Structure 1
C-alpha cells in the first residue's frame, strides 16, 4: 500500500446539471416529452330541487316525528346512540310534546 488515496469520485447527476452551480447546463429531464392527451375534466351534475307538490302525503304519527327529531338532535350534538339506546329512545318518544321539547333543549343546549 502506498498511502492514503482519494476514492475515485463521480459527480452525481443532480449536482452536475444544477443551473445555479453550472450556468448554461441543461438537465436531462428538460427534453421535450411526447404529449399525452389529458383525461376530460369530471362534470358535476346538480340534481333539481324536489317538487313539494309531488310528495306522497304520508302523515307521521307524533311518536315517529318525535323519534326523527330526537335522532336529528342527537346527531347534531355529535352523540351517536348505541344499539342498546334504541329502547330508551322509543320510550322517550312516547312522552308528550312539552317534555320532548325540553329534552331536545337539553341535548342541544339552547335556551
Structure 2
C-alpha cells in the first residue's frame, strides 16, 4: 500500500459497523433516532447536578484510610490489580508510618 488510501465512505461502510459498538451508525438505511446520551434516558430519569464543593464534608480521613487510598492509587497507576487475598496485605501495609508508606509507593511507581 503506497501513499494515502481513502477509507470507504457512504452507507456501504456504515452498514458494516456493529450497532452495539457504534450506536450512531445507520441501521436499515436510516440513522438511529437516539444519538445522544439524554435520548437513552427513561421518562422518570434526570441528570444529577454537579456537586457543590462548599457542601462537602470537612471530616479528615484517618491516616490508615488515607494511606489505603494512596496505595490503591499507586497500584492502579502501576497497572497492578490487587487480588482478593491481597486486601489483607494492603490493610497491614496501611498501618505503617508515612515515611515507610512513601517508600513503598516509590518502589511501586519505580521513581526516585
TM over 0.5: yes
Q: Extract unaligned runs of 5+ from structure 1.
A: 1-34
Structure 1 segment 38-57 matched on structure 2, within 5 A: 39-43=33-37, 49-57=50-58
Q: Which residue of 1 aligns with 2:68?
A: 67
Name which one, 1 or 2, has greater alpha-carbon Rg. Answer: 1
TM-score scaled to structure 1, two decimals?
0.58
Q: 1:41 to 1:108 in 2, by over 3 A?
A: same
SS at match of 1:99: helix
Q: Deviations over 1:5-26 (max 9, x none)?
A: xxxxxxxxxxxxxxxxxxxxxx
Q: 1:109 to 1:42 in 2, by over 3 A?
A: same
Structural RMSD (CA): 2.7
The number of residues matched between the two structures is 77
Q: Deviations over 1:58-85 (max 9, x none)?
A: 2210000000100111011110111111
Q: Which residue of 2 aligns with 1:17?
A: none
Structure 1 segment 30-45 matched on structure 2, within 5 A: 39-43=33-37
CA distance in 2, matches of 1:106, 1:84: 21
More relative contact order, 1 or 2 (CA 8 Å, 6+ apart) = 1
Stretches (4+) displaced over 4 A: 35-38, 46-49
